Amino acid sequence: MSKFIADQSFFELFPDAKIGIVLLRDIKNNESSSKEIRQMLDEANEKAYDYLTEPVFSENKVIKVWRDAFKKFKTKKGARCAIEALLKRVDKGNPVGSINPLVDIYNSVSLTYALPGGAEDIDKFVGNMVLKITDGGDSFQALGDDETSETLPGELAYVDDEGAICRCFNWRDCVRSMITEDTKNAIFFMESVDPDRDEDQKEALKTVAENFEKYLDCQTEIKILTKDDPEIVLK
């Protein structure tokens, strides 16, 4: 049995945080995105402009809350929240494009609700997956990088017994557990550190789970982790 655990060290920094989880089982992700999924992504790129109302990008509330959060732990220079990366593309007139059905679905929901999301292949984990403040030295190979790096002491990261899976919340994903056409079982996580957005997060998780089931012909399970209920069984 393996679990995903949001560690006490995380909740000491973010006591009101909610880690939204959708487990996906028996995924069919081996085709390119349908016209319907691509249209959903196009519409989400347009919806994202609703959150970009301030003349200075970093002063938009959905960006500022994460900039402030990232100041509470050690980060690699330039690390930013995943939703900031998506919204910055939209802000610069470079819409988020299609990757594969699973990723397109969750990117659509992330843009629609301006909440960060990411997914990993559960079958590639070694032991439990834990969100925690690290001691540093966790091996990590980011998507697009040829060489490995290591987490920093005091950095917030998702790790398993093999090394880091995502660094700085879900700033960067690793090659080892990336979503591919062959992925059969996955975990999607959607983080929120703003209690004002609890209902938005619940709605977003419901929406993304419904779309996963509809377009990937899979089974899903939703759970929101809190300091009082910090773990879920993966398999």
Q: Are 50 and 230 in contact (CB under 8 A)?
A: no
What is the pLDDT, as a whole number, of residue 76?
A: 87
Rounded to a whole number of angstroms, the CA Rg of the chain reads 17
State which residues of the chain have pLDDT below 70: none
pLDDT of residue 31: 85
Distances (CA, A) of 45 to 62, 162, 228: 15, 36, 35
pLDDT score recorded for residue 58: 94
The whole-number pLDDT of residue 35 equals 96
Sheet hosting strand 172-173, strand order edge to edge: 172-173, 164-167, 156-159, 129-133, 3-6, 231-233
The per-residue pLDDT for 133 is: 98
Per CATH, the number for 3-233 is 3.50.40.10
Q: How many CB atoms lie within 10 A of CB 120?
A: 25
The per-residue pLDDT for 105 is 97
* β-pairing verdict for 129-133 and 3-6: parallel
pLDDT at res. 143: 79
Query: For residue range 196-229, what is the model confidence (pLDDT) as tens digits?
Result: 999 999 999 999 999 999 999 999 999 999 999 9
Q: Does the predicted TM-score (pTM) go above 0.75?
A: yes
